[in-house]
Structure 1
Amino acid sequence: MSVAQRYIEIMDTTLRDGEQTSGVSFSPTEKLTIAQLLLTEVKVDRIEIASARVSDGEFAAVKAITKWAKANGFLNKVEVLTFVDGDVSVQWMLKAGAKVMNLLTKGSLNHLTHQLKKKPEQHFAEVGAVIALARKKGLECNVYLEDWSNGMRHSKEYVFQYLDFLQQQPVKRVMLPDTLGVLIPSEVAAFIGEIVQRYPDIHFDFHAHNDYDLGTANVLEGIKAGARGIHLTVNGMGERAGNAPLASAIAVLNDFIPEVKTAVTEKSLYGVSKLVETFSGFRIPVNKPVVGENVFTQTAGIHADGDKKNKLYFSDLMPERFGRQREYALGKTSGKANIENNLLQIGVKLSEPDLKKVTQRIIELGDRKEVVTQADLPYIISDVLSSNAVEDRVMVENYVLTHSKNLKPSVTLRISIEGEVFEEHSQGDGQYDAFMNALKKVYKKKKQELPALTDYTVHIPPGGKSDALCETIITWSLNNRHFKTRGLDSDQTVSAIKATQKMLNLI
């Protein structure tokens, strides 16, 4: 007999706590786009989008999101952090069109005594007054217990006194933050377990920070102990070391706690991760679980060989779950199995002796710290085997790049496509952008679509030599397929153009 799964609410706070990442500031348009994606595609239950009273830009962003949310039936899923400040935050919420306030209050006696310099009874009375006013104005209230983790460690009697008060208040959720990210999993299990047992009728959310890299582990224990909701951020963004990351936490809940379920769509996690990376400028580490560039890439030849024979290095954490695919890296640790897998993907089969020669060349390139992409394989084969494996049907024959102060960069381009020659001129925000704009004009005449550029990486050797070779690796997307091309030159723009010519021949 199957047991009904316990539903867990997912509240994403990328647009509030995540934006507290040092150096990150989303524009109102970016905030609206992320909010829409989180609610309609990722399908989180709630989003926390801002702090009240922060800035005019924050106010404009909240108004834009609440207007869209109201028109689309999501307004009760949009939350704003507010403060114990009489009617100030409440009035701000009403003007912004928001309906759910997350009231920030003190969850430890230490914070209450030294920051607010107040007695518990005074704080509770002020909190109760704000809640009463908010409810009178038609707002829904949740309450944060800031520094709750230290409150449980050092002033548990105060925490219980406060929760005794809150259970008599018209609040929907009580939110338990590990504000400084100091808890270990066993403490999370003990503290939340004790609270849930003592207050079974209160909906508790757990809000984990990641200062000791324990955010995901603490989320796991918090849910097992009875928390009904968790707070997460895309890419683990947030103050200091950030918050528990959305993608990792969802994968852990789905794989290790079968008795619970969420509404989150796993296949949308990678897309929102890349969007937030672009808007924030906060680069995802390549080894970031689930969403990092390398996490579904096998590098060692022995692993690729095991995958071929019986999927020996596969686990439940399959890339297809997240809209991704397994890749096999090419470098000095590559074995024949890695290279065979890549060759199969581009439709090339080599004899055993030829495969050995190509493998040896790739290992040599790896020893020189050169990056080899799948798109480089035909060129390596052509070079190593002295064959005509590569036929350049598209040739960038000539170009003039101009860059002047207070004038937009421009490019004049001459290109041959299967013997037909085209010339175009265009401007852009940079020389390479101008080159791509000219190229788009050519391919518009050919009525052919160019791939979208999704990533652009430049590697320049340290040491300050102006004539050093620069390596540009560009990631392209066409018809849901991602591929990389590489260019090498002492000039960064020229190396990008060489990488682009390889792409043109591939398509």
Structure 2
Amino acid sequence: MGKRKIEIMDTTLRDGEQTSGVSFSAAEKLTIAQLLLEELHIDRIEIASARVSEGEFQGVKGIMEWAANKGYTDKIEVLSFVDNGISIEWMKKAGAKVQNLLTKGSLNHLTYQLKKTPEQHFNEIAQAIALAKENNIETNVYLEDWSNGMRNSPDYVFQYLDFLTQQPVKRILLPDTLGVLIPSEVFDFVSTITAKYPNTHFDFHAHNDYDLSVANAIEAVKAGIHGLHVTVNGMGERAGNAPLESTVAVINDFMHDVDINVKESSLYSVSKLVETFTGYRIPANKPIVGDNVFTQTAGIHADGDNKNNLYFNDLLPERFGRKRKYALGKTSGKANIEKNLQELGLQLNQDDLKLVTQRIIELGDKKQTVTKEDLPYIISDVLDSQSYEERITVESYVLVHAKGIRPSTTLCLKIDGEVIEENAQGDGQFDAFMNALAKIYKSKKMSLPKLVDYAVRIPPGSSSDALCETIITWTNSGKEFKTRGLDSDQTVAAIVATQKMLNVVSV
């Protein structure tokens, strides 16, 4: 027996746009629609609500003109209303061919919002469906608040379904409008309905108010549902809708009797584009598309990955157009660093690797994030420090910078075991540090090289604020040389570079 096909309907452009503060331009809507259908291979997309605005009308018109040239018009749907044909007229002008008619799926909504009897409501729905058919518009029907209808007025729901399954509709859409269902209820409700009406196509539309949208969608699949509604990044009002990316991954990995069309490898790129268009940031720990979800932080995990992929699961990043990363911080071990070095094409001996690991842990203790791009600079800093003997060390210092007071530094310097302390003011903290250093060197009748250039940068390509590299050019007896300091603080990095200079010239 072949696999059962499940349709995936994406409603990012309609329900997803109800995310607070999100509104797509017509051009953005067209771009997303094109990517959903052509790049991700989504079966159907719901792109708008009828009658909303002129901007919405122009957006739908543009998408439908493109879709007509591509042969996609039956894949594009618009939410419509029981409104004496106003929605149908709007759709005709926009070129839309499929309506998702919003109707009442609970007696509570029907009685208190519409103040109508079931018979009155059904009669108006029949007219809306007939009018759509006259105008060559296909009809799917939403049962708004269906989940509460099944809980509190199941007799009404089945009375309505008995009527609706006799109408010329293609699909019946069952939304958990308020996101109130738990997985066991979804399974019970959907399996009862699909068994009772075996010749009707049903979709399930989940909301995520209890963080159960994906679990509920999977239970609907188990119960015999024919289609699922999702949004990119789980966008939608309140806590959002079932996220496309997680729903697809779970179906592919755990629902072995089910087949879907979605192209997994394009999920991440489309997710990031929607993030850019909406400004609605993806949490770093969001499954499948979050920045951190394929990042191993613990060194033991990187070690295990080197030894037969011990910490891999089926969610391999390459499936989604991504790569595994190994974070660098206070829990990093040598294995994490080796993984990052491999990607950069670098190798270190074990002694040097140990020193670099220690430096990264020190930065991690400062709660700094270290990226792969920082590694060459850390290596350079650590290995450079081994090239001379440290006769002179900056033991401690106090840097004072306050409004209305000249910056000052108290410096404690150790020279060949002797500790000397001095205080000085300057035009800035580092200038004050250098003035204090000059006092110490004058008292010891030692000459100090002259600072001729001072440059500060973060490592190119680094996306973190962990490291600041200070490169200082000095002149001594007519010869120029450079020293480099690396730290999370610009002034401290300059002090590190200065200590290196003191030791270089003392050799």
- TM-score (structure 1 length as normaliser): 0.77
Q: Per-residue deviation at 1:471?
A: 11
Q: Per-residue deviation at 1:353?
A: 1.3
**Alignment of 1:99 onto 2:90:** no
Letter in 2 for 1:204: F
Larger Rg over CA atoms:
2
Q: Which whole-Å deviations, capped at 9, do the CAs of 1:358-389 have from their partners, x for residues lacking one?
A: 10110111111221111111110111111799
SS at match of 1:205: strand
SS at match of 1:105: strand
Q: Per-residue deviation at 1:472?
A: 8.0
Of residues 315, 321, 324 in structure 1, which corresponds to 2:322? 324
Q: Which whole-Å deviations, capped at 9, do the CAs of 1:446-486 have from their partners, x for residues lacking one?
A: xxxxxxxxxxxxxxxxxxxxxxxx99899x7xxxxxx8576
Of residues 274, 291, 294 in structure 2, which corresponds to 1:293? 291
Alignment-derived partner of residue 160 in structure 1: 158
**Alignment of 1:359 onto 2:321:** no
Q: Flag structure 1 segments of 5+ consecutive residues without an equivalent.
A: 390-469, 477-482, 491-497, 499-507
SS at match of 2:121: helix
CA contact (8 A) 1:473 1:485 kept: no
- TM-score (structure 2 length as normaliser): 0.77
CA contact (8 A) 1:234 1:246 kept: yes
CA distance in 1 between counterparts of 2:52 and 2:238 reads 20
> CA distance change for structure 1 residues 225 and 201 in 2, over 3 Å: closer, same or farther?
same
CA contact (8 A) 2:49 2:79 kept: yes
CA distance in 2 between counterparts of 1:118 and 1:292 reads 46
CA distance in 2 between counterparts of 1:471 and 1:55 reads 49
CA contact (8 A) 1:142 1:174 kept: yes
CA distance in 2 between counterparts of 1:159 and 1:177 reads 13
SS at match of 1:176: strand
> CA distance change for structure 1 residues 273 and 237 in 2, over 3 Å: closer, same or farther?
same
Of residues 219, 222, 225 in structure 2, which corresponds to 1:221? 219
Alignment-derived partner of residue 452 in structure 1: none
What are the within-5 Å matches in structure 2 for residues 5-404 of structure 1?
A: 5-386=3-384
CA contact (8 A) 1:471 1:486 kept: no
> CA distance change for structure 1 residues 347 and 230 in 2, over 3 Å: closer, same or farther?
same
CA distance in 2 between counterparts of 1:388 and 1:265 reads 51
Q: Which whole-Å deviations, capped at 9, do the CAs of 1:226-273 have from their partners, x for residues lacking one?
A: 000000000000010000000100000011011010111000101110
> CA distance change for structure 1 residues 336 and 489 in 2, over 3 Å: closer, same or farther?
closer
CA contact (8 A) 2:377 2:459 kept: no
> CA distance change for structure 1 residues 132 and 388 in 2, over 3 Å: closer, same or farther?
farther
Q: Per-residue deviation at 1:106?
A: 0.2
CA distance in 2 between counterparts of 1:323 and 1:255 reads 17
> CA distance change for structure 1 residues 288 and 473 in 2, over 3 Å: closer, same or farther?
farther
| Identity rate, percent | 69
SS at match of 1:315: coil
Q: Per-residue deviation at 1:5?
A: 0.4
> CA distance change for structure 1 residues 59 and 471 in 2, over 3 Å: closer, same or farther?
farther
Q: Structure 1: which 4+ aligned runs deviate by more than 4 Å? A: 470-474, 483-490
CA distance in 2 between counterparts of 1:211 and 1:15 reads 20
SS at match of 2:280: coil
CA distance in 1 between counterparts of 2:166 and 2:142 reads 16
Q: Flag structure 2 segments of 5+ consecutive residues without an equivalent.
A: 388-455, 470-489, 491-507
CA distance in 1 between counterparts of 2:322 and 2:346 reads 23
